Amino acid sequence: MQQFVEASSPGIRLWTEQRGSADAPPLLLVMGAQATGVGWPEPLVDALAAHHRVIRYDHRDTGRSSWPFEERPYRIADLAEDVVAVLDGLGIERAHIVGLSLGGMLAQLALADHPDRWISATLMGTSALSTTPYTRPDGTTVPVDELPGIAPEVLEMWARPVEDHGPATEVERRIAHWRVLAGDRLPFDADFFRTLEHRVIEHTGHYRVGTAHGRADHSGLLRSDALAENEVPTLVIAAPAEPVFPPPHPQHLAQSVGNARLVEIPGMGHALPPAVHAPLATAILRHTGAVPPTA
């Protein structure tokens, strides 16, 4: 079922989709920067929907949601309030939340600012919104600003200007981007990502590249104390081939968020190729299934 809900800012609409039994525990999927809700792979959504009422949505300036940034600039923190607005718009009091990349940061903000709205959280492909140092296994500590940065090949691709040479060329550019984000541990399935991007373009209605989230105000995102005091059961997914937030970022995240534990998905990078769908769904469902809906 698809419907629009009001964002946290008046006059902005967010596209949502629900899948699974209406009586099942709600699970909200939050995608990364400039990514639509249909970026969540169908097999993964279906696996989760066998046990949950799965909700996915388009951020502002993506997909079928409003594209207001040029006339009404907003903050990344506003996108986090949209996360809660989706629940409000659908009449959901509490839900499990799963966030990827920027979605993992928005999930952290939602945990810190609205802890009463969440049954559990799963965070992946993201970094801690915390200044807490990372403690290595040998007991030594590393300041947050000394943790590994984004891989050079990713930075190089992000620095390239995006030129309009038509939809076919744009799809191939996106596939090359996914190839870099996926890491080097698993075989790259170009056809899978080609199908994904065709679906995204069809869903959105155009192939223009959005840049709003990269230009939005990123200030005021740290939640060190609130995350340390978190009581919502939280799963951190460790991706050994992650090129954007490479290890030990997941380990640091699990240390920075209270009541968190870590599970590694072999071969995973900063993408969701077919090889990770089953193990990722298993990890998420084991996590959500261990938490009573009324907890």
In contact, 101 and 125? CB cutoff 8 Å: yes
Token pair 């492909």 is at which residue? Answer: 125
What pTM, to 2 d.p., does this model score? Answer: 0.96
Mean pLDDT of the chain: 96
Using pLDDT thresholds of 50, 70 and 90, give the confidence band for residue 139: very high
Q: Which two tokens stand for residue 182?
A: 């996926």
pLDDT of 7 strictly over 80: yes
Cβ–Cβ < 8 Å for 60, 69 = yes
Q: In this prediction, what percent of the chain has a pLDDT beyond 90?
A: 95
Is the pLDDT at 120 greater than 60? The verdict is yes
Distance CA 40, CA 16 (A): 13
- What is the average per-residue pLDDT within 158-167? 88
pLDDT confidence band for 288 (50 / 70 / 90): very high
Q: Are 63 and 69 in contact (CB under 8 A)?
A: no
Residue 294's pLDDT is what? 63
Q: From 1.10.3720.10, 3.90.76.10, 3.50.50.60, 3.40.50.1820, which CATH number describes the 2-150+210-289 domain?
A: 3.40.50.1820
* 60 closest CA partner among 99, 91, 34, 27: 34
Q: Where are the domains of the chain?
A: 2-150+210-289
Q: What is the pLDDT of residue 165?
A: 85
Q: How far apart are CA 38 and CA 81, in angstroms?
A: 20
- Reported as a single tens digit per residue, the pLDDT across 206-225 is 999 899 999 999 999 999 99
CA distances from 131 to 137, 254, 255 (A): 19, 13, 11
pLDDT band at 295 (very low <50, low <70, confident <90, very high): low
Sheet-wide strand order for 26-30 = 2-6, 13-19, 53-57, 26-30, 95-100, 118-124, 234-238, 260-264
The residue ranges of DSSP E strands in the chain, in sequence order, are 2-6, 13-19, 26-30, 53-57, 95-100, 118-124, 134-135, 141-142, 234-238, 260-264
Task: Give the Cα separation of 121 and 96 in Å (integer).
Answer: 6
- Quick one: what percent of the chain has pLDDT higher than 70? 99
Total residues found in the chain within this entry: 295
pLDDT at 111: 98
Average pLDDT over residues 256-285: 98
| Biggest CA pair distance of the chain | 53
Q: What is the pLDDT of residues 11-39, one digit of tens each?
A: 999 999 999 999 999 999 999 999 999 99
Rounded CA gap, 73 and 87, in Å? 23
